[in-house]
Amino acid sequence: MKRLVSIGEAAKVLGVSITTLRRWEAKGKLVAEHTAGGHRRYDLTKLRPDLFRAGVDAARRTLAYARVSRHDQKADLERQKQVLELYCARQGWRFELISDLGSGMNYHKKGLKRLLDEVIEGHVGRLVITHKDRLLRFGAELVFAICEAKQVEVVILNQGEDTTFEDDLVNDVLEIISVFSAQLYGSCSHKNQKLLDDVKQAVEAHADCSQDRTAPNT
């Protein structure tokens, strides 16, 4: 895409009339450059920086990714989808939404595997997520490194703490315990099995206490 364009091309990219563009220039809202022959040229990197940000190739897609851990969090999954859809639409990006239902410590989720395949194959120019932990609980930095190597722009809408961090972490720990429990059921180590059962009960009790603390008073 050309960086400097005529007034007609600039108006088309911005979705306004040439008259509106001239009025904005008269009010100082934008400044035109001039060729040697005195013709106006408008810098699209200033008018529409999203088209040039991080060198995103127009032929490569924008992927938005949402995830929750459990089936009873589907409302949160829909909220994530809505936030991602609204943000991408406001930026004028053509995008595809991928979602997963599974632990943040599970590297074999269908949506995540598809996302990584698309990135590695060079089909993705931008990845958008609501929080870093929505991608993976541990290991998100590795995915970001792959994106950087493939020149994929990563957009994280909320750089703060994920409000479901503690809840998700409890579920991740319970999943790990379940895996070890399954392995120990076939062994003779009843002592180890009892230890894991005790840890699981402690984690579940902590989760219940956390919910009681955050529940509104009635």
| Catalytic positions, written as ranges | 69
The span from the CA of 91 to the CA of 95, in Å, is 10
- The token pair that represents 197 in the structure block: 């059962």
Among 155, 152, 156, 88, residue whose Cα is nearest residue 122: 152
* Rounded (5°) CA angle 77-79-83: 120
The partner residues of 62 in beta bridges, in order of sequence, read 95, 126
The span from the CA of 41 to the CA of 3, in Å, is 9
DSSP SS3 for 216: coil
Burial call 177-186: b when 16+ CB within 10 Å, e when fewer:
beeebeebee
